[in-house]
């Protein structure tokens, strides 16, 4: 069994378990109780698929169904439902920012975290960067709940940052890192700090000096126990590239539950951050792998939900859609359907670093060359399933043109050191990009852009007060719904100085009579 077949089998197993968990709830709880539960959730999960649109999610379901059919020798289409899409409450949200119909993650994340619109690039501040917005996570902690922030991408990147930081510009990574180190949240876990070194020292060292237990490997994370604030950071690759010794998003979620579980409850935000990267790269296999990784993390929350079905709320949504993914394009598709994606064993981004960069550096090339080197053809076959005998003449030409574009553009950068854009390929590496897009075309997946789109994104919810997330809403309604469900107030915007004073002076709220707090159904 190949690596990708093992991974596909694992994804199928995860999906099957997810089906059983989502459907099972708990023996003593009826479906009507779950659907109409108006209680106050004590345990709240917010899952955010960065860049995850409806097409991304359904493509993952079609992929699982195609793999299952291929293994069983069946023909025809199939769909294997994900855990998230089986939640009893569903809806859509709009995503525009205060400055653009097409949002970025900072503005969209701010809306999801604080209930306020802001301009693209701004982290939990107003568009003029004069006042700070309080996140629902911060408000939950003021209430006495423990808080966890988890991401599969850079932990100081926009989406996780909006829950603990306030910055005029998301690129101020060291400043965001300082606010990360100072955060009172009990569990923060994700990929590396964007800029660890700066005038005040190393971000990890600063966190340690504040009594935070810093873990930088799966082994060190396993040694962490409840009772101390924990900060985990280790570079997390795409799920399709993840070696066995690296932690998964599901593991980080399960560890968060272990560390945060307490009688006063918790709030945990979990971001599937690399769905966005797969969309930007127009890499269908990598994108679907990240959606499945997020769904596996959701399964961990569902396991917890089954133990506390009337006290738990799980909400799944996205900050925006990336890539304008389209399904069932006009390209001549593989008879395997989306199962053809299983032949891709590596993201094109990893292929660039591990294989193609060395070819570019060592290969002699002139503009009159027509042929891709034989060893590179072999690599395209082993990493993408694009073997010479399976390619049409048009596909071979497509790859050879992309190879020429890659070689012709090598070493060419702008004044900021970024590779120059190549017509048709943007700033991406033409050959690896084309290889991944070709695999996607064969699976029936196309893309309209390398950037974000203004399309509404999905919402799914289950548990206490899940009804608040039904229907067509705006992204600012998500934290308002969470706050209303938890019976907490989102403070009015404050200047940085005012926020610092209130943080140090405000007493922690308690949870007395939580069971009596029953909101009125809207």
Q: What is the pLDDT of residue 24?
A: 46
Strand locations in 290-349, DSSP E? 312-318, 321-322, 326-327
Enumerate the domain spans of the chain.
3-326+452-489, 344-443
Three-state DSSP class for residue 351: helix
* 314 within 8 A of 289, measured Cβ to Cβ: no
**Rounded distance between C-alpha atoms, residue 478 and residue 457, angstroms:** 12
Residue whose C-alpha is closest to residue 203's, from 254, 241, 164: 164
Q: How far is CA 19 from CA 13, 100, 385, 388, 475, in A?
A: 10, 38, 31, 40, 27
Q: What is the pLDDT of residue 499?
A: 66
Q: What is the pLDDT of residue 517?
A: 31
**Rounded distance between C-alpha atoms, residue 319 and residue 104, angstroms:** 8
**Rounded distance between C-alpha atoms, residue 115 and residue 109, angstroms:** 10
Q: What is the pLDDT of residue 500?
A: 66
| Binned average pLDDT, 10 residues per bin, the chain of 522 residues | 44 39 44 59 98 97 93 82 96 97 98 97 95 96 96 96 96 95 96 92 95 95 95 96 95 98 97 98 98 98 95 98 90 84 96 91 74 90 93 93 91 86 92 96 94 97 95 97 94 75 46 33 30
- Entry pTM: 0.89
- What fold does the segment set 3-326+452-489 form as a domain? Alkaline Phosphatase, subunit A (3.40.720)
- Alpha-helical runs (H) found in 115-192: 136-142, 158-161, 173-182
Q: What is the pLDDT of residue 369?
A: 67
Q: What is the pLDDT of residue 512?
A: 33
């Amino acid at each position: 069994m190949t690596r990708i077949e093992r991974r596909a089998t694992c994804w199928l197993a995860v999906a099957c378990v997810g089906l059983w968990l989502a459907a099972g709830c708990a023996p003593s709880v009826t479906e009507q109780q779950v659907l109409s539960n108006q209680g106050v959730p004590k345990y709240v999960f917010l899952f955010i698929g960065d860049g995850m649109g409806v097409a991304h999610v359904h493509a993952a379901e079609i992929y699982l169904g195609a793999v299952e059919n291929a293994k069983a020798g069946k023909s025809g289409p199939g769909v294997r439902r994900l855990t998230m899409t089986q939640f009893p409450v569903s809806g859509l949200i709009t995503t525009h920012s205060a400055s653009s119909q097409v949002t970025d993650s900072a503005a969209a994340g701010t809306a999801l975290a604080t209930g306020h619109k802001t301009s693209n690039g701004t982290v939990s501040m107003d568009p003029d960067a004069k006042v700070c917005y309080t996140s629902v996570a911060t408000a939950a902690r003021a209430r006495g709940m423990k808080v966890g922030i988890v991401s599969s991408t850079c932990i100081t990147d926009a989406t996780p940052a909006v829950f603990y930081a306030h910055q005029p510009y998301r690129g101020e990574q060291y400043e965001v890192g300082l606010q990360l180190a100072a955060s009172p949240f009990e569990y923060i876990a994700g990929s590396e700090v964007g800029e660890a070194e700066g005038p005040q020292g190393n971000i990890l060292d600063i966190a340690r000096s504040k009594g935070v237990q810093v873990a930088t490997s799966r082994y060190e994370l396993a040694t962490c126990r409840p009772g101390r604030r924990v900060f985990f950071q280790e570079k997390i690759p795409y799920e399709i590239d993840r070696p066995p010794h690296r932690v998964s998003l599901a593991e980080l979620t399960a560890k968060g539950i272990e560390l945060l579980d307490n009688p006063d409850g918790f709030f945990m935000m979990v971001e599937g951050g690399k769905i966005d990267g797969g969309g930007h790269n127009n890499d269908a296999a990598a994108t679907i792998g990240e959606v499945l990784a997020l769904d596996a993390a959701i399964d961990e929350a569902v396991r917890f939900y089954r133990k506390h079905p009337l006290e738990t709320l799980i909400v799944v949504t996205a900050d925006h859609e990336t890539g304008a993914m389209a399904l069932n394009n006009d390209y001549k598709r593989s008879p395997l359907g989306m199962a053809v994606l299983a032949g891709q064993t590596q993201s094109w981004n990893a292929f660039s670093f591990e294989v193609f960069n060395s070819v570019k550096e060592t290969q002699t090339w002139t503009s009159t060359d027509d042929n891709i080197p034989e060893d590179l053809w072999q690599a395209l076959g082993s990493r993408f399933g694009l073997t010479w005998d399976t390619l049409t003449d048009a596909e071979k030409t497509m790859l050879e043109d992309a190879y020429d574009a890659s070689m012709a553009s090598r070493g060419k950068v702008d004044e900021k050191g970024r590779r120059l854009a190549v017509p048709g390929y943007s700033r991406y590496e033409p050959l690896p990009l084309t290889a991944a897009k070709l695999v996607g075309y064969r699976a029936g997946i196309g893309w309209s852009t390398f950037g974000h789109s203004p399309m509404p994104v999905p919402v799914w919810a289950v548990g206490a007060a899940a009804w608040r997330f039904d229907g067509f809403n705006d992204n600012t309604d998500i934290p308002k719904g969470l706050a209303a469900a938890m019976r907490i107030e989102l403070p009015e915007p404050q200047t940085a100085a005012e926020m610092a004073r209130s943080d140090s002076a405000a007493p922690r709220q308690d949870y007395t009579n939580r069971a009596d707090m029953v909101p009125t159904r809207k």
